[in-house]
Amino acid sequence: MAALGGGEGAGPVLRRGLSLRCPRCGGTRLFRGWFAMAPGCPLCGLRFERAQGYFVGPVGRLRVLWGAFGVVFPIWFFRYSRGLWLALEYWLNPEP
């Protein structure tokens, strides 16, 4: 059985995700623009969107949790929710 996060602790992996960097190596950005996510990391090869609709879970949770704050906060937090979700997924289920 593979170690969580490729053997790393949750702290470095989550820190990279919240800084919008590759959760595996931290070497590249997750986004090419405000909403355009890169397909993967050219340095370590980690695919950012593992399947079509992969980020539906965090988007739905984001709408439920932050809907009371209107439109501005969810738009701002969109990028960070994807970074955090990807970091958690990599930490719990790292790709080989």
What pLDDT sits at residue 65? 67
CA distance 9 to 12: 6
Residue 68 in this model has a pLDDT that exceeds 90: no
pLDDT of residue 37: 86
Structure tokens at 16: 């990279």
pTM metric for this prediction:
0.56
The label of the residue with tokens 């929710």 reads 81
**What average pLDDT does range 53-76 have in this prediction?**
67
pLDDT at 67: 61
